[in-house]
């Protein structure tokens, strides 16, 4: 609460959660980014806090969209139920009318001819046909609206798992993909490797060239990861300037080759300031790799890959370091085996 007051940040639950994560240290990304911003200015701290809420958590807008979509879906369902109930009542009335006509045909006398009864039956039938046609139109409209809502939900779900700046999976997408990959690895007894990587000296891009250039660097890295990884491999923005890659069916040897190829691809790129054409210093990244251990929790795998990443940083940056290898066990359909098979 003191931080919210000191930095003039709205005291709502989202920002309170962010400050709690910062003070408690339970989220390293939040702690690192807000810690750096705290040494600069109040405006910078507020800007970083807002960016973290939008890109690191990103739940508020998604929940609102889901709530809106759910409400619209409820209205359609209630309307459709009402239309069906009305149609059922009308069908019951029509059935009673037909029963009355049948009885009338059996009791035709001089006062009512067969033609009169038949004419009444035709009139009632046409009226029922018109009501059925209207019901069909209404239900088709409801069906189209439901399909549109379903598409909106799919888009919302995808948006909730995507980092808006880089176009790759965000932290929520990473958590979901890693859990899925671990389950598949356990069930299929195949390897899976995690790569954690971090842009070297990222703060200097913001300090020396401004945050627009910093965003340009992040987009560049996200684009390289997205275009370089193939098949089941999943690139993610873990938070801030840190990225992660989940490589199913991949052992350490294959993951090391992937990381080294990415390191070289990023090292060769140059950032140019669009307004002046000025060439900016090259971008480099450090990589840490860990292969999944049988029965391991996802947080432990992340920690081992993170430890390898920090070792790469401590050893001079712009390099790939391998963490503790996984225990040897039978493998099927690994990337190296598939490559050897041609």
C-alpha span between 124 and 131 (Å, rounded): 11
Range 6-18 average pLDDT: 83
Mean pLDDT, the chain, whole residue set = 79
C-alpha span between 65 and 59 (Å, rounded): 10
Q: What pLDDT, in 10s, does the model give residues 97-152?
A: 666 655 555 555 545 566 665 676 667 677 766 776 776 677 677 667 767 766 76
Helix, strand or coil, per DSSP, at residue 107: coil
Give strand pairing partners of 246.
194, 234
The upper half-sphere exposure of residue 190, i.e. CA atoms within 13 Å in the direction of its Cβ, equals 19
Q: What is the pLDDT of residue 329?
A: 41
Helix, strand or coil, per DSSP, at residue 295: coil
Q: What is the pLDDT of residue 139?
A: 66
Residue 340 has pLDDT above 50, yes or no: no
| pTM (2 d.p.) | 0.59
C-alpha span between 264 and 184 (Å, rounded): 31
Range 297-312 average pLDDT: 92
Residues tagged active-site: 241
Residue 223 has pLDDT above 50, yes or no: yes
C-alpha span between 252 and 258 (Å, rounded): 10
Token pair of 240 as six digits:
């801030």
Range 192-205 average pLDDT: 93
Q: What pLDDT, in 10s, does the model give residues 238-250?
A: 988 999 999 999 9
Give strand pairing partners of 279.
272
pLDDT top residue among 205 and 302? 302
Residue 341 has pLDDT above 50, yes or no: no
Which stretch, 1-15, 129-143, 237-251, 269-283, has highest mean pLDDT? Answer: 237-251
Share of the chain above pLDDT 70, in %: 67
User: For residues 330 and 290, is the Cβ–Cβ distance under 8 A?
Assistant: no
Residue with tokens 């994560």: 21
Q: What is the pLDDT of residue 233?
A: 95
Q: Which long-range contacts link 22-28 to residues 24+ away (Cβ below 8 Å)? A: 28/239
Q: Would you place residue 193 in the very low, low, confident or very high pLDDT band (cuts 50, 70, 90)? A: very high
Residue 290 has pLDDT above 80, yes or no: yes
Q: Would you place residue 328 in the very low, low, confident or very high pLDDT band (cuts 50, 70, 90)? A: very low
C-alpha span between 187 and 166 (Å, rounded): 32
C-alpha span between 281 and 334 (Å, rounded): 38
User: For residues 293 and 327, is the Cβ–Cβ distance under 8 A?
Assistant: yes
C-alpha span between 12 and 297 (Å, rounded): 33
Range 3-15 average pLDDT: 83
Length of the chain: 342
Residue 327 has pLDDT above 70, yes or no: no
Residue with tokens 């007894």: 189
User: For residues 321 and 315, is the Cβ–Cβ distance under 8 A?
Assistant: yes
Helix, strand or coil, per DSSP, at residue 243: strand
Range 176-187 average pLDDT: 92
pLDDT top residue among 116 and 326? 116
User: For residues 80 and 136, is the Cβ–Cβ distance under 8 A?
Assistant: no
User: For residues 322 and 311, is the Cβ–Cβ distance under 8 A?
Assistant: no
Name the H helices within the chain. Answer: 2-6, 13-24, 28-38, 42-51, 60-106, 114-160, 171-188, 202-209, 211-228, 252-267, 298-314, 335-340
Q: What pLDDT, in 10s, does the model give residues 29-85?
A: 788 888 888 888 888 888 888 878 766 665 555 555 555 666 666 676 667 666 666
Q: 285-291 and 192-199: which strand pairing?
A: antiparallel
């Amino acid at each position: 609460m003191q931080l919210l007051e000191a930095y003039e940040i709205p005291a709502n639950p989202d920002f309170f959660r962010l400050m709690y994560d910062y003070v408690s240290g339970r989220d390293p990304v939040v702690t690192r980014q807000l810690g750096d911003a705290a040494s600069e200015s109040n405006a910078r701290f507020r800007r970083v806090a807002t960016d973290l809420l939008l890109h690191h958590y990103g739940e508020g807008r998604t929940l609102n969209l889901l709530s809106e979509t759910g409400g619209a879906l409820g209205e359609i369902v209630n309307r459709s139920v009402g239309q069906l109930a009305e149609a059922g009542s009308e069908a019951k009335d029509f059935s009673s009318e037909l029963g009355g006509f049948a009885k009338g045909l059996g009791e035709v006398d001089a006062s009512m001819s067969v033609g009169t009864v038949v004419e009444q039956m035709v009139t009632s039938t046409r009226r029922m046909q018109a009501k059925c046609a209207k019901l069909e139109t209404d239900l088709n409209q409801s069906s189209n609206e439901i399909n549109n809502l379903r598409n909106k939900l799919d888009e919302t779900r995808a948006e909730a798992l995507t980092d808006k700046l880089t176009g790759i999976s965000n932290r929520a997408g990473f958590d979901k993909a890693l859990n899925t990959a671990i389950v598949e690895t356990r069930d299929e007894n195949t390897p899976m490797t995690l790569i954690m990587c971090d842009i070297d000296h990222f703060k200097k891009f913001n300090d020396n060239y401004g945050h627009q250039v910093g965003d340009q660097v992040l987009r560049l890295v996200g684009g390289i990861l997205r275009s370089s990884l193939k098949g089941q491999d999943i690139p993610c923005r873990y938070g801030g300037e840190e990225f992660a890659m989940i490589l199913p069916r991949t052992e350490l040897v294959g993951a090391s080759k992937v990381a080294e190829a990415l390191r070289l691809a990023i090292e060769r790129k140059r950032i140019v300031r669009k307004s002046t054409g000025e060439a900016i210093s090259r971008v480099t990244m450090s990589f840490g790799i860990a292969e999944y251990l049988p029965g391991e929790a996802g947080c432990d795998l992340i920690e081992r890959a993170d430890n390898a990443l920090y070792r790469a940083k401590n050893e001079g940056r712009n390099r790939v370091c391998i963490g503790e290898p996984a225990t040897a066990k039978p493998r099927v359909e690994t990337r190296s085996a598939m490559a050897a098979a041609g």
